[in-house]
A = this chain, B = another copy of it.
Amino acid sequence: MIFTAQIKVMPLKDLLDPQGKAVLGGLHNLGMKEANDVRIGKFIELQIEADSKEVAEKMANNAAEKLLANPVMEMFEVSVQTH
Contacts and interface: CB of A to CB of B under 8 A. Distances in A.
Chain B CB count within 10 A is highest, among A8, A27, A62, for A27
A41 B38 contact: no
Contacts of A50: 34
Q: Interface range on chain A: under 10, 10 to 19, 20 to 34, or 35 or more?
A: 20 to 34
A50 B27 CA distance: 15
B30 A67 contact: yes
A67 B23 contact: yes
Nearest to A34: B49
11 contacts: A24-B46, A30-B66, A32-B59, A35-B46, A35-B59, A35-B63, A38-B45, A41-B43, A41-B44, A41-B45, A42-B43
